């Protein structure tokens, strides 16, 4: 093969651990260029990713990203690349694409973005656009609004209302959880929070969402959701109901994710464990889901499909995962987390993006990553992002 496979693995490992130098990155590119056995390269990358249990790649590239990186000016000085663009096995995030993504997103992201941030959309970087965090308000039944601590990740409804570390949420003379029957937990744009309900059910609330529930369940367990949440329902004989726009989800004890934002036309329910039934509020049609299935409710229609569940719960684990989503849905998701406004210029009809991105990525780097697909371009004006064709 003409290259040292152990050296290649060592360089890839350094990249994954973010310890690689610019010189080593260029060596990595040369080694990748010189290889003819791309399947061996892919195997080595996959082994390294499996070994790095907590590593989440900056992006899982598709052929469009791969080709745009091959044409990137940064690589023009390197040895010529053999014609491997036709190898469509790269749709499964093949190794060659990963290596060149390392180049573009590693050295180029760290060196160029830090030195010349104005090149993103030809506007200066906006340092005030930062990722979200633990932010939420709690509205009690008497109208009292509590700004929850940003140093805590969640609250617990037991005999008293506490944070997950056991400290009190309300002042000593404040109203306790058992005295309020209607509770609303609300996250703003750029906010996320967890709540453990009185029956032991755990709920993770994503940005721009609201969960309404009783302080203590009596009889039927029922909550209302607007936005997105992941549920880990405590097993009980009494059914657990989640009411959202256009549907009701009924479970006994399981794990699932619901996405139902007001600015999107459909409600998605994705099941990880157990079983649920989804009742269309307009047609009363009942759809039963098994693990790995997702229901999509849109008006009177309900579609059930098999999906990879990971992209739909990725937000809870600290990253975005887009399984070839339309750019408007991608930007809606990003906008809620980074608390920005989005404007579109040009025809976005066939603009899609598929990939995995950290939810704590530098904002300009995140946009640059999406730009590498060649699908759209971005311009930043204050807290507004203009998406252009």
pLDDT digits (tens, 9 = 90+) for 285-314: 999 999 999 999 999 999 999 999 999 999
Pair (197, 333) in one structural domain = no
pLDDT confidence band for 157 (50 / 70 / 90): very high
Q: What is the mean pLDDT of residues 211-234?
A: 94
pLDDT single digits (tens) 118-145: 345 444 444 589 999 999 999 998 889 9
Q: Number of folded domains in the chain?
A: 3
Pair (283, 326) in one structural domain = no
Pair (201, 349) in one structural domain = no
Choose one of 312, 343, 367: the last residue of a domain: 312
Q: What is the pLDDT of residue 122?
A: 46
- Angle at CA 167, nearest 5°, toward 161 and 171? 65
pLDDT confidence band for 373 (50 / 70 / 90): confident
Output the pTM of the full model: 0.71
Q: What is the pLDDT of residue 296?
A: 97
Structure tokens at 71: 């044409």
Pair (109, 147) in one structural domain = no
Pair (144, 265) in one structural domain = yes
DSSP assignment of 288-332, as one string?
A: EE-TTEEEEEETTEEEEEE--SHHHHGGGGTEEEEEEEEHHHHHH
Tell me the residue range of the domain where 195 lies.
133-312
How far apart are the C-alpha atoms of 254 and 276, rounded to whole Å?
Answer: 8
Pair (294, 162) in one structural domain = yes
Is residue 121 included in any domain, yes or no? Answer: no
Q: What is the pLDDT of residue 7?
A: 77
How far apart are the C-alpha atoms of 64 and 353, rounded to whole Å?
Answer: 10
């Amino acid at each position: 093969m003409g290259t040292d496979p152990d050296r290649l693995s060592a360089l890839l490992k350094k990249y994954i651990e973010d310890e690689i130098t610019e010189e080593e990155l260029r060596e990595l590119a040369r080694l990748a260029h010189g290889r003819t056995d791309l399947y061996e390269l892919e195997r080595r990358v996959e082994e390294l990713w499996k070994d790095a249990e907590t590593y989440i790649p900056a992006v899982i590239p598709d052929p469009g990203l791969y080709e745009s990186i091959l044409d990137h000016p940064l690589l023009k000085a390197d040895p010529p690349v053999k014609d491997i663009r036709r190898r469509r096995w790269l749709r499964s995030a093949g190794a060659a694409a990963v290596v060149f993504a390392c180049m573009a997103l590693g050295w180029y992201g760290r060196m160029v973005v830090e030195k010349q941030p104005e090149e993103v959309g030809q506007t200066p970087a906006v340092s005030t656009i930062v990722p979200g965090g633990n932010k939420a308000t709690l509205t009690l039944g008497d109208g009292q609004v509590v700004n929850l601590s940003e140093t805590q990740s969640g609250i617990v409804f037991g005999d008293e209302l506490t944070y997950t570390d056991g400290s009190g949420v309300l002042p000593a003379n404040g109203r306790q959880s058992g005295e309020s029957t209607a509770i609303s937990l609300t996250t703003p744009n750029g906010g996320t929070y967890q709540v453990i309900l009185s029956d032991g059910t755990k709920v993770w609330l994503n940005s721009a969402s609201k969960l309404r529930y009783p302080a203590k369940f009596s009889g039927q367990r029922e909550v209302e959701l607007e936005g997105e949440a992941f549920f880990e329902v405590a097993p009980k004989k009494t059914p657990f109901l989640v009411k959202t726009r256009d549907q009701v989800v009924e479970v006994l004890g399981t794990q699932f994710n619901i996405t139902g934002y007001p600015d999107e036309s459909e409600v998605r329910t994705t099941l990880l464990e157990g079983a649920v039934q989804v009742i269309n509020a307009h047609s009363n049609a009942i759809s039963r889901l098994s693990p790995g299935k997702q229901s999509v409710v849109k008006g009177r229609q309900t579609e059930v499909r098999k999906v990879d569940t990971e992209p739909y719960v990725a937000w809870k684990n600290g990253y975005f995962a887009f399984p070839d989503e339309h750019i408007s849905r991608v930007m809606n998701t990003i906008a809620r987390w980074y608390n920005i406004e989005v404007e579109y210029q040009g025809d976005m009809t066939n603009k899609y993006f598929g990939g995995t991105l950290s939810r704590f990525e530098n904002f300009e780097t995140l946009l640059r990553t999406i730009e590498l697909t060649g699908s759209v371009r971005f311009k930043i004006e204050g807290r507004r992002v203009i998406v252009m064709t």
